Amino acid sequence: MRNRSRQIADEWLVLQSQDGDVRALEHLVSRWNDRLWRHARRLIRDDAAAWDVVQDAWMSMLKGLRRLDDPGAFAGWAYRIVTFKCVDHLRLDERRQKAETLSPVRETAPAREEGDDVDVLRIALGELSVEQRAILSLHYREELGVEPIAEILGIPVGTVKSRLHRARAALRKKMDRRQR
């Protein structure tokens, strides 16, 4: 019942924001900003970069909010924008890293022994692709079912199921390898 009340409140805030109510928009942002940041943080794994991505996502959302036909679709729409902004950020970061001149001698941090299951999980999640982290995050952390995830990512339900299955298998494999 509480989730439904939150959804109704969010829908009302979206409608009011679409009508130009600045206070409603501020309240909508305050209700969603931390959730969207946590989602971005799980995908990017960098606090500051996650804030930057969320701010960029809010700029896109503010520009497109009036065109959102269904206020009930706000959550999926917002997660989709943040997810795609995260993917864009990671791709750009990867290109920057490739373009950097690497010195011939690289220092590496000493390998850590990770015995704790939480540490093993955290490290294994970090080794997954951003797409795999996104689908696992939406399903387990945001507690969304396959249909809302399909809507957020703009893919068929069957594709969500297969990607979720592959992401779980990849995570399991990485965790098994680390626990040996």
Whose tokens are 């896109």? That residue is 60
Domains 1-73 and 114-180 share a fold: no
155-171 tens-digit pLDDT: 899 999 999 999 999 98
State what percent of residues in the chain have pLDDT above 90.
Answer: 52
117-156 tens-digit pLDDT: 777 787 888 888 888 888 898 888 888 889 988 888 888 9
What residues does each domain of the chain span? 1-73, 114-180
Fold of 1-73: Rna Polymerase Sigma Factor; Chain: A (1.10.1740)
Amino acid letter for position 63: K
Fold of 114-180: Arc Repressor Mutant, subunit A (1.10.10)
Q: What is the pTM of this model?
A: 0.67
Nearest to 133 by CA among 98, 103, 174, 75: 174
